[in-house]
Amino acid sequence: MAEDKKDELQDVENTEAQAAETPEETKAVEAAEETPAEEAKKEVAEEVKAEPAKEEVKAPVAKEVKAPEVQAPIAEPEVDIWDTAVDDGFGEEYSDKDRKKMEALYEATLNQITEKEVMAGTVVGITDRDVIINIGFKSDGLVALSEFRDVEDLKPGDAVEVYVEEQENANGQLVLSRRKAKIVKAWENIQKGLDEDMVINGMVKRRTKGGLIVDIFGVEAFLPGSQIDVKPIRDFDVFVGKKMEVKVVKINYANDNVVVSHKVLIEKDIEKQKAVILENLEKGQVLEGVIKNMTNFGVFIDLGGVDGLLHITDISWGRINHPEEVLSLDAKVNVVVLDFDDDKKRISLGMKQLTAHPWDSLDKDMTVGSKVKGKIVNVADYGAFLEIIPGVEGLIHVSEMSWSQHLRNPQDFISVGDQLEAVVLTIDRDDRKMSLGIKQLTEDPWTKQDVLTNYAVGTKHTGIVRNLTNFGLFIELEEGIDGLVHVSDLSWTKKIKHPSEFVKVGDELEVVVMELDVDNRRLALSHKHLEENPWDTFETVFTRGSVHKCTVISKNDRGGLLELPYGLEGQVTTKNLQKEDGSQANEGETLDFKVMEFSKDEKRIVLSHTSTWKEGAEQPAPAAAPAPKKGKSSKGNTLNKINQETEKSTLGDLEALSALKDKMESAAKPAAAKPAKKAAPKAEEKAPEAEGSEEESKDSE
């Protein structure tokens, strides 16, 4: 029987060779090969099984059918012979049915293989180093035995999957790999798991930053910590070495990364539980939950599939800074449903509502004026909150902390945690509000009996500058007693536009009380009135027509500003700056100037240089009668003090100035009918001679 099959195969080869010479017959053969012959395959298979020697049929077929002579070109003479044989009836014993059987048998003996693909094979032999595998190719392939270390009891006949690396290498061998086949097959299974949303059994290998590494199909996949469970996991090590069902959620072939999730498997069950809980949820319902997460604004509680938020203000009637002060993770707590949103599936929970409000247990005898003790639990810009009992707080406004009007920041006065005593100012049990005060524990300084005596008009005090404004400054004489010093009351001689030019906050300043109003809590103070008004003395020194050495400080289009003795400032018009040579006086130049106008009330002195040398120039108007003299000592003390402060003296000592002034006044009376321009020089010429007699007359007075 075997010999007959060999003859049949030989006839098939001869027939195909002959068909290669004729195009028409070639097309017929190709059409016959493309036509399926299932019946022929079955019959041939049954005949092969019936043969006692199975290898005899398989081996020759595999070797001879694949021989290259089938595709080799045939010489022309041989074609003619075969054609003659065909024409003579050679091969007429083979019908179309027999041909189809032989073609099916021929096709079944070989596999079409492609490199870089995974194929199924059979172990046909095992050596010390390699495993021989048959994949139906013309030759068997070798795979290193080390690639089968994970297979127990490997033996010939076992089916395995291998990766075709090369059909034929330099040595003519078929190169296979089981390791690469496992990798390719694993990625195919992973992609299939993602496409079909399959549940995959994995093994947690180790912990990594932010999650776990899970082995699926021999590939390491990343399981993020947020995808392990619906609740936060704080200890990842408990999962290492355990099996876990996961789903593939993302694949990155560029980096060979796979991301899996276990959370998605249990979310479906949770959604069902949520629906049941939300359907039966009611306001005021008391539920038991487990604390799953804490934040600085509240606590998230697992109610059995659905989460609810317990805000920090609803944890306790008392004030707490963080939930961890009274709660802990994974603790079971009872909460009450305050509100919920069906659309957004948000649930607001409360814990303090399970107990009575502390205001309901507040002492009934507590009224306005009662003294209470407590702890400062919060400090704000506008005040501080004093906790009397947990849940009952009172506000101490910044204005009620001290009698002083300059306490701006409560944190400078009290701190969180301070134990204080306060007085109840207002209390509203219905609205559960209370205002407290601290300064009421001490006497109001404005109501003291000695306030009228201590701060009587004319009394002198030293205070601390607390605040500066455009119109003046406020000085604190004692806690709760403040006074205003107007900017005009800072100096007799200096023109101060803003108090910051004279003093700064925190400085000590000596003042005198100018006005006291206890009812309105007002105190008018002055700094310049500590001294005698020097303008009374200046009026007698800088008389109209008197000449003084002055320095030009600055100039403008209308005139200039002069520096006079004793730190005073004078004004001069542009035309009165002309010098004898016709030029104008420049800044920094010191010249003689004649007083043209003196105003004590307006504190203004107008002078002229031109009038000192030019005849017919503008002269000062007659001076008004001087005020009664107050005595030599008072005038001298005032000018001496000013002289010391300015450290300038251009007309000699104070007594000489006084004598000069008196001489000028006495000389002006007999010479009233004479021109005014000559009176001043005569007085100046006679001033040294009259100096002694003037002093003698004053001493006799």
Instruction: Encode pLDDT of 425-438 as tens digits.
Output: 999 888 888 999 98
Least confident of 84-88, 473-477, 532-536: 84-88
8 Å CB contact between 335 and 349: yes
Domain membership flag for residue 209: no
Domain membership flag for residue 648: yes
Q: Which of 154, 182, 210 is the last residue of a domain?
A: 182
**What is the distance between the alpha carbons of residues 323 and 329, in angstroms, rounded to a whole number?**
10
Angle at 471 between CA 465 and CA 473, to 5 degrees: 5
364 in the same domain as 347: no
Angle at 185 between CA 183 and CA 191, to 5 degrees: 105
For residue 332 the two structure tokens come to: 């079971």
Query: pLDDT at position 614, please?
Result: 86
% of the chain exceeding 70 in pLDDT: 72
> For 538-544, what is the mean pLDDT?
85
**What is the distance between the alpha carbons of residues 44 and 272, in angstroms, rounded to a whole number?**
60
690 in the same domain as 628: yes
Banded model confidence at residue 476, pLDDT cuts 50, 70, 90: confident
Q: Which amino acid is at 158?
A: D
Domain membership flag for residue 254: no
Q: Give 116's DSSP letter.
A: T
8 Å CB contact between 127 and 140: no
Q: Give 266's DSSP letter.
A: H
Domain membership flag for residue 204: no
Query: pLDDT at position 634, please?
Result: 46
DSSP strands (E only) in 24-173 = 118-126, 130-134, 141-144, 159-166
Domain that holds residue 307: 281-354
Close Cβ partners of 510 (under 8 Å, ≥ 6 residues apart)? 460, 461, 462, 527, 530
Domain membership flag for residue 232: no
162 in the same domain as 104: no
**What is the distance between the alpha carbons of residues 424 and 437, in angstroms, rounded to a whole number?**
7
Mean pLDDT of the residues in the chain:
74
Q: Which of 354, 379, 409 is the last residue of a domain?
A: 354
8 Å CB contact between 236 and 244: no
Query: pLDDT at position 82, please?
Result: 41
| Coil, helix or strand at residue 309 | strand
8 Å CB contact between 131 and 125: yes
Q: Is-above-0.75 flag for pTM? A: no
Query: pLDDT at position 222, please?
Result: 92
Q: How many domains does the chain have?
A: 6
Banded model confidence at residue 442, pLDDT cuts 50, 70, 90: confident
690 in the same domain as 543: yes
Banded model confidence at residue 413, pLDDT cuts 50, 70, 90: confident
604 in the same domain as 485: no
**What is the distance between the alpha carbons of residues 549 and 557, in angstroms, rounded to a whole number?**
23
Banded model confidence at residue 162, pLDDT cuts 50, 70, 90: confident
Domain membership flag for residue 265: no
Query: pLDDT at position 425, please?
Result: 92
For residue 496 the two structure tokens come to: 């101060």
584 in the same domain as 544: yes
> For 126-143, what is the mean pLDDT?
82
% of the chain exceeding 90 in pLDDT: 11
Banded model confidence at residue 359, pLDDT cuts 50, 70, 90: confident
Query: pLDDT at position 422, please?
Result: 92
Angle at 531 between CA 525 and CA 536, to 5 degrees: 115
Domain membership flag for residue 78: yes
> For 397-417, what is the mean pLDDT?
80
What is the pairing mode between strands 307-311 and 286-294? unpaired
For residue 433 the two structure tokens come to: 């509000």
Close Cβ partners of 293 (under 8 Å, ≥ 6 residues apart)? 231, 232, 299, 300, 329
Query: pLDDT at position 64, please?
Result: 39
548 in the same domain as 683: yes
Least confident of 53-57, 287-291, 638-642: 53-57
685 in the same domain as 567: yes
| Coil, helix or strand at residue 410 | helix
Banded model confidence at residue 594, pLDDT cuts 50, 70, 90: very high
Q: Tell whether the model's pLDDT for residue 136 goes beyond 80.
A: no
Query: pLDDT at position 342, please?
Result: 65
Taking the CA atoms of 401, 406, 407 and 409 in sequence, report the sign of the dihedral they define.
positive
Domain membership flag for residue 198: no
Query: pLDDT at position 624, please?
Result: 54
Q: Tell whether the model's pLDDT for residue 577 goes beyond 80.
A: yes
Q: Which of 419, 441, 463 is the last residue of a domain?
A: 441
For residue 398 the two structure tokens come to: 């910044």
**What is the distance between the alpha carbons of residues 408 and 277, in angstroms, rounded to a whole number?**
53
**What is the distance between the alpha carbons of residues 226 and 365, in angstroms, rounded to a whole number?**
56
558 in the same domain as 695: yes
Query: pLDDT at position 621, please?
Result: 64
Instruction: For residue 420, give the CATH number of its domain.
Output: 2.40.50.140
> For 680-694, what is the mean pLDDT?
37
**What is the distance between the alpha carbons of residues 140 and 210, in angstroms, rounded to a whole number?**
47
Task: For residue 159, list its beta bridge partners.
Answer: 122
- Residue of higher predicted confidence among 22 and 417: 417
Query: pLDDT at position 67, please?
Result: 37
544 in the same domain as 507: no
**What is the distance between the alpha carbons of residues 658 and 680, in angstroms, rounded to a whole number?**
16
Q: Give 470's DSSP letter.
A: S
**What is the distance between the alpha carbons of residues 680 and 671, in angstroms, rounded to a whole number?**
10
688 in the same domain as 549: yes
Query: pLDDT at position 626, please?
Result: 52
**What is the distance between the alpha carbons of residues 637 and 700, in angstroms, rounded to a whole number?**
20
Q: Tell whether the model's pLDDT for residue 236 goes beyond 70.
A: yes
543 in the same domain as 517: no
Q: How far apart are the first and last CA of the chain?
A: 175
For residue 581 the two structure tokens come to: 């040579």
